């Protein structure tokens, strides 16, 4: 499922693909991908991409003439560039470019969303306006991290995934960050000591940088849940296999309806008390 790094890579791809090109025609099938949006407005999209921004898992695309598109990739959404004659299964919407290549929005399960709206209003859209700080775009500091989730009564992993607190982390990268920081996902934010906050802060940035670097080489971004995809992650999806750090079998449990992976030895439930922090 795409989270901050995968959406950031999609943003960079769109920038690359549309650089120096013009959209000559926009197409969209009548699917729920365009729910909440205006299909007629989407079909009128034309011209150059002026800027491609990202807030959390949302892409904010601005085109010439003040036209904009808000895109969320949902669970299985992906942008792909193909030749004019190529068939793309599950293509739900398309931007036809002036070199005859086509940027498809493909989404088998259709949890994604495309909303055509005036570009100047994209940031004010409800879905975007309520988002918290973006670790990459806003450069989240340790103080901002504490400010964002320190008062949450949720478990640490659930708080990290709350998009109104910090935006961009989902099930994969929240688990990765907690493993890197050696923090149990069920810990309460209030129980963290200053050095643990510092470790978590560093780990969030490390997990995101790692994913960006690991996935950037591919022309098509592979999601770890896809058949045949490799799992590049340290802890996510590794239940039952030895921990990369200590060889203890990785465990999984359910938190807020999602599977959490963690190492019971590296990420103890009870924090080790240190005499000075």
Site string for Zn ion, 21-50 (x = CB under 5 A): ------------------------------
Instruction: Lay out the site mask for Zn ion across 238-267 (x = CB under 5 A, - = otherwise).
Output: -----x-xx-x--------------x-xx-
Residue 195 per-residue DSSP state? H
Q: Please, are residues 214 and 222 in contact by the beta-carbon 8 Å criterion?
A: no
Burial of 42 per CB tally in 10 Å (0-12, 13-18, 19+): buried
List the catalytic residues. 2-3, 57, 258
Return the number of the residue (149 or 266) whose C-beta is nearest Zn ion. 266
Supply the minimum distance, in Å, between the C-beta of residue 215 and Zn ion: 24
Enumerate residues 188-247 that contact Zn ion by CB under 5 A.
243, 245-246
Closest CB 247 distance from Zn ion, rounded Å: 7
Chain centroid to CA 102: how far? 24
Nearest one of 75, 164, 166, 66 to 116, comparing CA atoms: 66
Q: How far is the CB of 87 from Zn ion (least distance, A)?
A: 46
Asked whether position 129 contacts Zn ion by CB under 5 A, the answer is no
Cβ of residue 242: shortest distance to Zn ion, in angstroms?
Answer: 8
CA 58-153-192 angle, 5° bins: 95
Number of residues counted as binding Zn ion (CB under 5 A): 7
Give the Cα separation of 196 and 272 in Å (integer).
Answer: 10
| Residue 269 DSSP code | S
Looking up tokens 């931007």 gives 95
Which CB, 141 or 248, lies closer to Zn ion? Answer: 248
Residue numbers at the binding site for Zn ion (CB under 5 A): 243, 245-246, 248, 263, 265-266
């Amino acid at each position: 499922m795409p989270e901050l790094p995968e959406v950031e890579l999609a943003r960079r791809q769109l920038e690359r693909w549309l650089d120096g090109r013009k959209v000559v025609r926009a197409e969209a099938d009548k699917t729920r991908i365009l729910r909440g949006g205006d299909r007629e407005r989407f079909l009128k999209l034309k011209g150059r991409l002026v800027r491609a921004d990202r807030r959390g898992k949302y892409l904010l695309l601005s085109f010439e003439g003040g036209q904009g598109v808000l895109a969320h990739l949902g669970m299985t959404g992906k942008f792909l560039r193909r030749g004019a004659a190529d068939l793309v299964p599950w293509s739900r919407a398309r931007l036809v470019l002036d070199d005859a290549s086509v940027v498809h929005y493909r989404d088998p399960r259709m949890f994604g969303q495309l909303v055509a709206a005036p570009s100047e209003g994209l940031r004010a859209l409800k879905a975007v306006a309520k988002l918290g700080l973006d670790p990459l775009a806003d450069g989240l500091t340790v103080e901002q991290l504490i400010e964002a989730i320190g008062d949450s009564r949720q478990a640490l992993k659930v708080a990290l995934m709350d998009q109104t607190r910090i935006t961009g982390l989902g099930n994969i990268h929240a688990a990765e960050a907690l493993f890197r920081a050696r923090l149990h996902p069920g810990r309460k934010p209030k129980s963290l000591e200053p050095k643990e906050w510092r470790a978590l802060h560093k780990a969030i940035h490390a997990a995101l940088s790692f994913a960006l670097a690991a996935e950037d080489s591919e022309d098509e971004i592979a999601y770890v849940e896809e058949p045949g995809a490799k799992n590049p992650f340290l802890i996510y999806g590794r239940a039952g296999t030895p921990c990369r750090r200590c060889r203890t079998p990785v465990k999984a449990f359910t938190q807020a309806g999602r599977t959490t992976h963690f190492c019971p030895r590296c990420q103890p439930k009870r924090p080790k008390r240190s005499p000075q922090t």
